Amino acid sequence: MNARPKSGDDRQNRYLRKLYGDAQAPIISAKITALQEKYGNAAKQNSDAALLTEKDVLLITYGDTLTHNTAPPLKVFHRFYREYLQGIFDLVHILPFHPYSSDDGFSVIDYFAVRDDLGSWDDIGDLGNDCRVMADAVINHTSSQSEWFTKYLDRDPRFSDFYIDCDPESDTSSVVRPRTSPLLTRFHDSGGTARYVWTTFSPDQVDLNFRNPDVLVAVIDVLFFLISKGPRLLRLDAVTYLWKEPGTSSANLPETHVLIKIMRQAVSSLCSEVVVVTETNVPHRENVAYFGDGRDEAHMVYNFALPPLIAYSLIAGDGRHLSDWASHLSTPSDEVCFLNFTASHDGVGVRPVEEILTDGELQTLVDATLASKGMVSYRTLSDGEERPYELNCTFLDLISRETEDVASTVSRFVTSQAIVLAMPGVPAIYIQSLLGTRNDLQGVERSGRARSINRSRHDYSDVVTALSRTESLEARIFERLTHLIRMRRQQDAFDPYAPFEVLDHGDSIFAIRRGDPMSGATITCINNLTDKDVLLEISDVVSGQELLGGANVPAGKHLFPPYAVWWLLADKQ
Q: Which positions are catalytic?
A: 237
- The angle subtended at Cα 293 by Cα 287 and Cα 298, nearest 5°, is 55
- The angle subtended at Cα 65 by Cα 100 and Cα 178, nearest 5°, is 55
Question: What distances in angstroms separate CA 224 from CA 35, 277, 368, 554, one per listed residue?
Answer: 8, 15, 43, 53
Closest among 144, 131, 108 to 225, alpha carbons compared: 108
- Cβ–Cβ under 8 Å, residues 433 and 478: no
The dihedral built from the CA positions of residue 141, 160, 36 and 27, taken in this order, carries a sign that is positive
Q: Annotate 164-182 with three-state secondary structure.
A: CECCCCCCCCCCCCCCCCC
Give the strand order in the sheet containing 386-392. Answer: 348-349, 386-392, 375-380
Question: Cα(510)–Cα(419) distance, rounded to whole angstroms?
Answer: 8
> In this structure, are strands 58-61 and 91-94 parallel, antiparallel, or unpaired?
parallel
Question: Cα(268)–Cα(274) distance, rounded to whole angstroms?
Answer: 7
Closest among 61, 83, 80, 84 to 71, alpha carbons compared: 80
Question: Cα(80)–Cα(489) distance, rounded to whole angstroms?
Answer: 20
- Cβ–Cβ under 8 Å, residues 186 and 195: yes
Question: Cα(234)–Cα(264) distance, rounded to whole angstroms?
Answer: 10
Question: Cα(243)–Cα(246) distance, rounded to whole angstroms?
Answer: 10
Question: Cα(451)–Cα(453) distance, rounded to whole angstroms?
Answer: 5
108 CB neighbour count, 10 Å cutoff:
28
Question: What distances in angstroms separate CA 170 from CA 189, 201, 248, 384, 450, one per listed residue?
Answer: 20, 19, 11, 17, 32
Residue 420: helix, strand or coil by DSSP?
A: helix
User: Percentage helix, strand, coil, to 5, in the chain?
Assistant: 35, 20, 45
- Cβ–Cβ under 8 Å, residues 393 and 453: yes
Residue 296 carries which DSSP code?
A: S
Residue 539 carries which DSSP code?
A: P
- Cβ–Cβ under 8 Å, residues 268 and 289: no
